[in-house]
Amino acid sequence: MTTPLAAEGLAAGYGMREVLTDVTRAFPAGRVTALLGENGAGKSTLLKALAGIVPARRGAVRLAGRPLSEIPRREAARAFGYLPQGFELLFPIVARDLVLLGRTPWRTAFGAPSARDRAAVEAALGEMDAGALAETDLGAMSGGERQRVLLARVLASEPGILLLDEPTANLDPRHRFLVLDAMRRRAEAGGAVVFSTHELDIAASGADDAMLLSGGRVLAAGPVADTLTEPLLSALFRVAACVTPGADGRPLVSLGPARPS
């Protein structure tokens, strides 16, 4: 099993504040990894650091064994598909044009979109059930519609590594499963997928592995059967956790009331 992406003793943060400390983990091809933790645990920062958006203060991110800091930006942009947690709409734009921006790493500076670019855009819109929104302005969309279009932009770039921050946010149950299927297909095709979520059912059903982050450090990491356990989840979220095996062997997780401090 190859390792297209890895963090080695990674520390990252903003200004004087260090958010991540000593994160070491390989994200192998063919696996989907869920990042879990309370607000402020470092999930979004880890995704940004893996994507090269937030630089490492110590340690390194490696892409196919090479330090990310030494890889040309265009090459890295072709490798990664990054979905941020928030999206600020700065100007009117219809869905098809926004998704076409996902093809930027593959296009020349002033060249017209190629047939492959246009085909990738249409395929991504279709995969996210957003084809009917192609000519709709993002400002006129619901939160769930916008999320599907933003995911289509990521998929249109045809990356080998997906880094997705809360990809199922604002989505109804049908579209949540559609996103899980898209992540699974990318992993089965040899890609690596890392996503953050607060939805334990999404982590349990959609991920192969989980990384539990607490206070910017790794509390546990490994297959979901080994990490989504009652002791670890109770410690992570400071609530009573109940875990039972599902019919497919994956854990079924429920959380109880918060524990007193």
pTM: 0.94
Amino acid at site 131:
G
**Phi/psi class of residue 91: alpha, beta or left (left: φ > 0; alpha: ψ in -120 to 50)?**
beta
pLDDT at 2: 64
**Model confidence over 129-186: pLDDT tens digits?**
999 999 999 999 999 999 999 999 999 999 999 999 999 999 999 999 999 999 999 9
| Mean pLDDT confidence for 102-109 | 88
pLDDT value of residue 214:
97
pLDDT of 100 above 90? yes
Confidence of residue 3 (pLDDT cuts 50, 70, 90): confident
| Whole-angstrom distance, CA of residue 17 vs CA of residue 159 | 31
Output the average pLDDT for the chain.
93
Q: Is the pLDDT of residue 249 over 90?
A: no
Per residue in 40-75, pLDDT (tens digit) is: 999 999 999 999 999 999 999 999 999 999 999 999
- pLDDT surpassing 90 at residue 87: no
Strands (E), 52-165: 58-63, 66-67, 80-83, 161-165
- The pLDDT value given to residue 114: 93
- Span 1-23, mean pLDDT? 92
Q: Tell me phi and psi for residue 11, to 5 degrees.
A: -125, 140
Q: What is the pLDDT of residue 1?
A: 56
Our measurement of the distance from residue 238's CA atom to the centroid of its chain's CA atoms, rounded to an integer in Å, reads: 24
| Rounded mean pLDDT, 208-226 | 97
